[in-house]
Amino acid sequence: MNFIGNLIWIICGGLFSAIGWWLAGILWCITIVGIPVGLQCFKMSSLSLNPFGKEVIDEGGAVSCLLNIIWFFASGLELAIGNFVIGCVLCVTIIGIPFGMQFFKIARLALFPFGARIVKITY
């Protein structure tokens, strides 16, 4: 079921979310100081392509908090708003609610991605 959900997810807007993360990663990697942030963006881009069957666990520390504050004002707010709007549009229909909930998960992650660990859910 995760494979089918992820396939439909890519069609319903997951590709656009992944492209947004990818573009943010490229912009951050332009400078040497921004490379760690850019690499985090590329990791989040892979989550945006297949979010079903994965969960986000927060494990932040002091450095993660500082990076999240910088990230929030530099790139996080724009990515979070984009994912939130797509999630709201998908939640209009009953069929789109699971996909909208995944966009909300990614929007929350877009605000504070540092210190977050992505784990695969096993049943």
pLDDT in tens, 24-75: 889 989 988 888 888 888 888 888 888 888 888 888 788 888 888 888 888 8
What CA–CA distance (Å, rounded) separates 111 from 1?
A: 28
Neighbours of 71 (CB within 10 A): 23
Q: What is the pLDDT of residues 66-92, one digit of tens each?
A: 888 888 888 888 888 988 998 899 899
Task: Read off the pTM.
Answer: 0.79
What pLDDT score does 53 carry? 83
What CA–CA distance (Å, rounded) separates 76 from 113?
A: 8
Q: How many residues does the chain have?
A: 123
Q: What is the pLDDT of residues 86-114, one digit of tens each?
A: 889 989 989 889 888 888 988 888 888 88
- Listed residue (118, 77, 94, 107) closest to 13, CA to CA: 107
Burial of 120 (0-12, 13-18, 19+ CB in 10 A): exposed
Total domains, the chain = 1
What pLDDT score does 123 carry? 66
Domain range for 34 is: 2-120
What are the b/e assignments for 33-64, b being 16+ CB within 10 Å?
A: ebeebbebbbebbebbbbbbebebeeebeeeb
